[in-house]
Amino acid sequence: MIVVLKAKASKAQIEAVVREIRKLGYKPHPILGVERTVIAAIGDERAHHSLETLISMSGVDQVMPVQRRYKLVSRETNPKGTHLNILGHIFGGKKFQIIAGPCSVENESQIMETARAVKKAGATFLRGGAFKPRTSPYEFQGLKHEGLKLLEKAKAATGLGIVTEVLSESDVDLVAEYADILQIGARNAQNFALLVAAAKTGKPILLKRGMSMKIEEWLLSAEYILSNGNPNVILCERGIRTFETLMRNTLDLGAVALAKAETHLPVIVDPSQGAGRADLVSAMCKASAAVNADGLIIEVHPNPKEAMSDGAQQVTLHQFSELMGDMKPFLKAAKRL
Amino acid sequence: MIVVLKAKASKAQIEAVVREIRKLGYKPHPILGVERTVIAAIGDERAHHSLETLISMSGVDQVMPVQRRYKLVSRETNPKGTHLNILGHIFGGKKFQIIAGPCSVENESQIMETARAVKKAGATFLRGGAFKPRTSPYEFQGLKHEGLKLLEKAKAATGLGIVTEVLSESDVDLVAEYADILQIGARNAQNFALLVAAAKTGKPILLKRGMSMKIEEWLLSAEYILSNGNPNVILCERGIRTFETLMRNTLDLGAVALAKAETHLPVIVDPSQGAGRADLVSAMCKASAAVNADGLIIEVHPNPKEAMSDGAQQVTLHQFSELMGDMKPFLKAAKRL
Amino acid sequence: MIVVLKAKASKAQIEAVVREIRKLGYKPHPILGVERTVIAAIGDERAHHSLETLISMSGVDQVMPVQRRYKLVSRETNPKGTHLNILGHIFGGKKFQIIAGPCSVENESQIMETARAVKKAGATFLRGGAFKPRTSPYEFQGLKHEGLKLLEKAKAATGLGIVTEVLSESDVDLVAEYADILQIGARNAQNFALLVAAAKTGKPILLKRGMSMKIEEWLLSAEYILSNGNPNVILCERGIRTFETLMRNTLDLGAVALAKAETHLPVIVDPSQGAGRADLVSAMCKASAAVNADGLIIEVHPNPKEAMSDGAQQVTLHQFSELMGDMKPFLKAAKRL
Amino acid sequence: MIVVLKAKASKAQIEAVVREIRKLGYKPHPILGVERTVIAAIGDERAHHSLETLISMSGVDQVMPVQRRYKLVSRETNPKGTHLNILGHIFGGKKFQIIAGPCSVENESQIMETARAVKKAGATFLRGGAFKPRTSPYEFQGLKHEGLKLLEKAKAATGLGIVTEVLSESDVDLVAEYADILQIGARNAQNFALLVAAAKTGKPILLKRGMSMKIEEWLLSAEYILSNGNPNVILCERGIRTFETLMRNTLDLGAVALAKAETHLPVIVDPSQGAGRADLVSAMCKASAAVNADGLIIEVHPNPKEAMSDGAQQVTLHQFSELMGDMKPFLKAAKRL
């Protein structure tokens, strides 16, 4: 920690800060600058009491941490990167993984038709929401257990692994029975009780970035999962909230490149939520390959204009098949084919 | 719903949209403009399938809802405003309510000393976190059940009502045993499973605004509580996340004035989280009275520089007592004394 | 400056950084921490080359400045605060100053009627745009020189001082002939050429905060004016851009309290732009008094529904007169009456 | 325009709105909905007075425009897209254009060395700031006229075209003498006086997106240039300001894809400003090719750690040469080679 004193801090104020730093378990190291004094407080910031509270002392102007707050997820812990094997498919390896399927599971024919089509086009996992987090209580909340059973049928028919969201601690065990990858959505990215409950199933977890989450906070949410004994985390960038209104979210591909450098975890992209517009999905898929993402989770629906949720951002089966072809040259360029 | 066609939409495209609107349960009403056609779709947007999916049709440029998405919380439902009586104190009435106490319950002497001091200075409720949502898993997570028992002691000694946060569906019943008001924090403001579980206790709920939540979304989260049978909701503005770095959050007092006009619910302000700096708390308290808030929830700690969480934003017992005095003329101006 | 090395920085990397710090004119002071080395670089950050470029060296993780970047505007330079006398009215003194008038000057009767009404209700300055910065080239751009002449008439008739915006370096002298206070708008808050040109007129300058300007950047724009020889600056908070869509901007009253503490300059609030909704103006005016602002600039129009710009946020003459009355108790509470 | 009445609007209120719509030059077309009345106002929104002012009428809840506000820049005006020929290089054609060079021109050897290196690596234009917009008045403001002369020398030696920023209306003619492309920076993106002055030189203009500019506003700034008789505009996405602090800006590649679809103008990307970190530049360059950008403007410096501005985001000559190679497969994938 670096404690910056005010320009006019008195000797007594400086000494009080020095005493307090020592009391809180750090070794103070004052440095006299040209305009003001700075005190380096030596000690492990993750082990000790944070010194950020010292800002409340009268002579203190700023307190600045110098360490990363995460440890288990940091690239240094595993410089070669995690290769996460799920049903024989590797996330974080050479191959680019495609998860595709509807926003919500709506009925048997919808999910079966979609599963077959995305499988044929090259997807390895099927997504589909059975429990849906909806902004309004009056919107379709998902088929719940019934939806999970339909996903199971689709898996049986196609061999695709299942990715589905869990919204409630009390559903974690049920959803984990059906899911090959448990999805934690953006709205729950700092629902720590759910993160811990999901971690404890041991299942791989797809952790979406919260809609206004700093990258550090996202990695710390992953750290909650790892520090609760589950190393199987896939990070997923899905767009952040900004002032722009022509797109539902602003896809932050810089964050993908940064998360890849900062952590050893696989990182994938959700281009559907990421822009909220079907017409931008193809471009965002190609760009994801270019920034070294490890895969994509794409919303696909047989008839978006009658979708029960998020129709504006789902591509049709035909569009999906086309975009899978259009991506090939970019995957090849990224050495992911 | 208003469906705006593209400037060059063909007759066939327009007719397809008209058919689809009818199919989804609305009555289409096309209007020929000078540059483009607009179709008003008549029907109750809350009862029918949303037409926003029509954006995926080739001739459609925009789909615009015209109704509010919330109903039970809207001011029209209860034009005089809710007066919520908790332990004889009315939220939403003439009197301005003060909730005060430490960010976290840390130990018996800390909470007892604080409770006595805030009571003496005029607070009617005691806040204190027993379960703490912390960005990092390595930070102090609260005393949990032990913390609740300490709050109970403080209540017994002072008569103050208890406001404390619940983080997990599985703790809802336990926390509800001790709390007079259940707090849902900013990170859980769209944790719908927790909202529903908390609603079902019947206890009054303090619902904080999420850190990048639009006002409409905040009201819809409240709508989740009301539509699950619990009308006892207090909204709490606690600052939103912006690009500014000198303050932890940007307190949005316009949102308070707007929420008061749009809903019949009491609205209070958290000036401590709201700015994240103790030196701004007093000004933000006075401004809250000026925008017609119904009360405040203020973080107070006997020794902020050694606080186990959020020391930078907690005021001392002495500062609290002073600010209670400083607020009086503003409460009088607001006719809240 | 504090230069934080990477956790695994080699001895050679550290030495290279030390050499570079010395080369750039600072005295390096390395401190060995438990996890990583930190180097305090002693020297005046405003006089020397910034060390932020060192981030490009291989062993460096972060570079953190410890000084404020502004000097002339900082509170330390003038602890008692600037009292700016304009036509006998003091900005920054005890009295709260009211600037009021239409968004745009539209015609003689509009500006004369408004001027008389705001004068009668207690305003001391008349605002009115003659040169209008409009997002679209097809929107009303103001009456220009003609508008300035109408403002002059209104001043002659009422004695109100004139506040009007200047958009172009080549208009600075013309506008300065008519204006008692030159307004620099949010879009030009980092138009440094205009800031310098306006500064050189010697006229008092009302400097609006840019719509996504950090407080530090706002103060540095003021520093441009002071460092070009003009100490007569009034800061004006006018709302920042956020994700919220129910309000045009988010009025940041915390920034007002902070700017008052950090600088010696008068700070006023524009509640009209600040929320972009006439129905919120009254609450925002009262709150401005509560956070210790020195005044307000309010948009007032005889007939907002036919205004040529920003009708949604202008209050009527009657509403203005009412809000002036409604503010009185809050001004009294703030000891500004 | 669509005017949405309040749910409880009276017949008299509705009639008043109808009258006002007619008075303002539109043809009102009221539609009775299940919950509320909506009035379609038929007329050209770009020709008439905007109806947004009607929000100030008592029965009105919302006013929603249905047309685009821009015309000359819209894709419909030129469906095949603009091919802008500058010194024989086409922006908006098949070939991907590379502009490269230092943030600031610092001295002769720096600019000559950089120019030769970027030319050799494949750049077609040289960038370099002679007039620098700096947040603080104490930071290096550029070599000004001297810098322009050095750029001229570099052009003479290498044949590279010159891209350089103009900050002031009074420098427009001087800068236009030396520049092949005039750059308008993010801070001046709504400095309409400068846009018009630059437009009038007839020179091609590189228009950066403002740091919190909505896409619509960016296109309207371009519309200012086209409507002042200069069709030679290149749009440049350079990152927007968000809450994230690990990157200086958030590069918005969705905006690039969207701008390409909405307008006929060439769109390029500034990955240096876009992330503000040299280590992310290469990934962002590849991603720009993937979203169909027409080129890049990249900051390159022989010795970033001693750069006089923005050292953190400039790549070295060697890194630049490498990234030009690394991009090739992606340009090939995008069919831009």
What pLDDT sits at residue A14?
Answer: 94
On the question of pLDDT at B257 being above 80, the answer is yes
Q: Do C55 and D241 touch (CB under 8 A)?
A: no
Burial of D224 (0-12, 13-18, 19+ CB in 10 A): buried
Q: Which of B135, B170, B223, B230 to mutate to test the interface with A (most CBs of A within 10 A)?
A: B135
B-facing residues of C in 267-326 (CB < 8 A) are 274-275, 279-280, 283-284, 286-292
On the question of pLDDT at A336 being above 90, the answer is yes
Residue D255, CA distances (Å) to A113, A280, A324, A330, C199 in order:
33, 9, 22, 20, 37
What is chain D's Cα-based Rg?
Answer: 23
- List alpha helices for chain D, DSSP H: 11-23, 108-121, 145-158, 172-178, 192-200, 215-227, 253-262, 271-275, 278-290, 317-333
Q: Which of C48, C50, C243 to mutate to test the interface with D (most CBs of D within 10 A)?
A: C50
On the question of pLDDT at C48 being above 90, the answer is no
Q: What is the pLDDT of residues D28-45, one digit of tens each?
A: 999 988 888 999 999 887
Q: How far apart are CA B13 and CA D36, in angstroms?
A: 28
What pLDDT sits at residue D337?
Answer: 87
**Domain B84-333: which topology?**
TIM Barrel (3.20.20)
What pLDDT sits at residue B32?
Answer: 87
On the question of pLDDT at D86 being above 90, the answer is yes
Q: Do A284 and D291 touch (CB under 8 A)?
A: yes
- List alpha helices for B10-144, DSSP H: 11-23, 108-121
Kindly indicate the confidence band of residue A187, based on its pLDDT and cuts at 50, 70 and 90: very high
Q: Do B38 and D40 touch (CB under 8 A)?
A: yes
Residue with tokens 């869990």: A166
Q: Do A31 and C29 touch (CB under 8 A)?
A: yes
Phi, psi (deg, nearest 5) at residue A183 = -95, 130
Chain D residue at shortest CA distance from C63: D312
Q: β-pairing, C161-165 with C181-184?
A: parallel
What pLDDT sits at residue C32?
Answer: 87
On the question of pLDDT at B193 being above 90, the answer is yes
Range D154-166 average pLDDT: 98
What pLDDT sits at residue C285?
Answer: 98
Range C5-10 average pLDDT: 90
Rounded to a whole number, what is the distance in Å from the CA of D56 to chain B's nearest CA?
16
Phi, psi (deg, nearest 5) at residue D16 = -65, -40
- Check if D330 contacts A (Cβ < 8 Å): yes
What pLDDT sits at residue C310?
Answer: 86
Within 13 Å, how many C-alpha atoms sit on residue A180's CB side? 22
**Which letter, b or e, does each residue of A211-225 get, where b requires 16 or more Cβ atoms within 10 Å of its Cβ?**
bbbbbbbbbbbbbbb
Please check whether residue B273 is in contact with residue B186, taking contact to mean a CB–CB distance below 8 angstroms: yes
Q: Who wins on pLDDT, B59 or B44?
A: B59
The segment with the largest mean pLDDT, out of A10-24, B40-54, B210-224, D59-73, is B210-224
What pLDDT sits at residue B337?
Answer: 87
Range B74-91 average pLDDT: 97
Phi, psi (deg, nearest 5) at residue D157 = -75, -30
Q: Do A7 and C76 touch (CB under 8 A)?
A: yes
**Which of D240, D261, D286 lies at the smallest CB-CB distance from A290?**
D286
Kindly indicate the confidence band of residue A231, based on its pLDDT and cuts at 50, 70 and 90: very high
On the question of pLDDT at A46 being above 80, the answer is no
Q: What is the pLDDT of residues C197-217, one digit of tens each?
A: 999 999 999 999 999 999 999
- Check if B215 contacts C (Cβ < 8 Å): yes
Q: Is the dihedral of CA C261, C264, C266, C270 positive or negative?
A: negative
What is chain C's Cα-based Rg?
Answer: 23
Rounded mean pLDDT of chain B? 95
Q: Do D254 and A261 touch (CB under 8 A)?
A: no
Q: Which of A209, A330, A331 to mutate to test the interface with D (most CBs of D within 10 A)?
A: A330
Kindly indicate the confidence band of residue A105, based on its pLDDT and cuts at 50, 70 and 90: very high
Q: Do C227 and D137 touch (CB under 8 A)?
A: yes
Which range has the worst mean pLDDT, A40-49, C305-314, D12-21, D189-198?
A40-49
Nearest CA among A195, A218, A194, A220 for reference residue A208: A218
Helix (H) or strand (E) holding A193: helix A192-200
On the question of pLDDT at B327 being above 90, the answer is yes
pTM value is 0.96
Q: What is the pLDDT of residues B195-223, one digit of tens each?
A: 999 999 999 999 999 999 999 999 999 99
On the question of pLDDT at D193 being above 90, the answer is yes
Chain D residues with CB under 8 Å of A257 CB are 280, 283-284
Q: How far apart are CA D64 and CA D94, in angstroms?
A: 39
Q: Do A139 and B217 touch (CB under 8 A)?
A: no
What pLDDT sits at residue B33?
Answer: 84
On the question of pLDDT at C150 being above 90, the answer is yes
On the question of pLDDT at B194 being above 80, the answer is yes
What pLDDT sits at residue C67?
Answer: 86
D-facing residues of C in 223-252 (CB < 8 A) are 223-224, 227-228, 241
Chain A residue at shortest CA distance from D258: A280
Q: How far apart are CA C5 and CA C30, in angstroms?
A: 10
Q: Do D240 and A250 touch (CB under 8 A)?
A: yes
Q: Is the dihedral of CA C22, C26, C29, C35 positive or negative?
A: negative
Phi, psi (deg, nearest 5) at residue A171 = -100, -5
Range A143-166 average pLDDT: 98
Chain A residues with CB under 8 Å of D263 CB are none
Q: What is the pLDDT of residues D206-251, one digit of tens each?
A: 999 999 999 999 999 999 999 999 999 999 999 999 999 999 999 9
Residue with tokens 């002449």: C149
Q: What is the pLDDT of residues B65-82, one digit of tens each?
A: 888 899 999 999 999 999
Kindly indicate the confidence band of residue A44, based on its pLDDT and cuts at 50, 70 and 90: confident
What pLDDT sits at residue C143?
Answer: 98
On the question of pLDDT at C93 being above 90, the answer is yes
Rounded mean pLDDT of chain A? 95
What is the DSSP track for A208-237?
EPPTT--HHHHHHHHHHHHHTT---EEEEE
Domain ranges of chain D: 2-65, 84-333
What pLDDT sits at residue D232?
Answer: 98
Phi, psi (deg, nearest 5) at residue C3 = -110, 115
Phi-psi category of B270—alpha, beta or left, where left has phi over 0 and alpha has psi -120 to 50? beta
Rounded to a whole number, what is the distance in Å from the CA of B55 to chain A's nearest CA?
6
**What strands lie across the sheet with B27-32, from one edge to the other?**
B27-32, B37-42, B2-5, B60-64
On the question of pLDDT at B112 being above 80, the answer is yes
B-facing residues of A in 80-109 (CB < 8 A) are none
On the question of pLDDT at C82 being above 90, the answer is yes
Q: Which of B103, B138, B218 to mutate to test the interface with A (most CBs of A within 10 A)?
A: B138
Which range has the worst mean pLDDT, A44-58, A146-160, A180-194?
A44-58
Dihedral Cα D125, D131, D136, D137, nearest 10 deg = 160
Q: What percent of chain D has pLDDT over 70?
A: 100
Kindly indicate the confidence band of residue B275, based on its pLDDT and cuts at 50, 70 and 90: confident
On the question of pLDDT at A155 being above 90, the answer is yes
What pLDDT sits at residue C66?
Answer: 86
Within 13 Å, how many C-alpha atoms sit on residue B223's CB side? 24
- Angle (CA) B220-B224-B228 rounded to 5° is 155
Phi-psi category of A295—alpha, beta or left, where left has phi over 0 and alpha has psi -120 to 50? left
Kindly indicate the confidence band of residue A50, based on its pLDDT and cuts at 50, 70 and 90: confident
Rounded to a whole number, what is the distance in Å from the CA of B287 to chain C's nearest CA?
4
**Which letter, b or e, does each residue of A298-332 get, where b requires 16 or more Cβ atoms within 10 Å of its Cβ?**
bbbbbbbbbbbbbbbbbbbbebbbebbeebebbbe
Nearest CA among B133, B130, B127 for reference residue B148: B130
Range C107-114 average pLDDT: 98
**What strands lie across the sheet with D2-5, from one edge to the other?**
D27-32, D37-42, D2-5, D60-64
What pLDDT sits at residue B50?
Answer: 81
Q: What percent of chain A has pLDDT over 70?
A: 100
Q: β-pairing, B37-42 with B27-32?
A: antiparallel
Residue D196, CA distances (Å) to B104, B298, D130 in order:
57, 51, 21
What pLDDT sits at residue D310?
Answer: 87
Kindly indicate the confidence band of residue D47, based on its pLDDT and cuts at 50, 70 and 90: confident
Chain B residues with CB under 8 Å of D34 CB are 42-44
CATH no. of C2-65: 3.30.70.1140
Range D47-67 average pLDDT: 87
On the question of pLDDT at D61 being above 80, the answer is yes
The DSSP 8-state label assigned to residue A187 in this structure reads G
**Which of B167, B194, B311 lies at the smallest CB-CB distance from A52?**
B311
Q: How far apart are CA C167 and CA C146, in angstroms?
A: 16
Strand partners, D297: D99
Q: Do D242 and A244 touch (CB under 8 A)?
A: no
What pLDDT sits at residue D7?
Answer: 86
The segment with the largest mean pLDDT, out of A38-42, C208-212, D46-50, is C208-212
What pLDDT sits at residue B35?
Answer: 83
On the question of pLDDT at A316 being above 90, the answer is yes
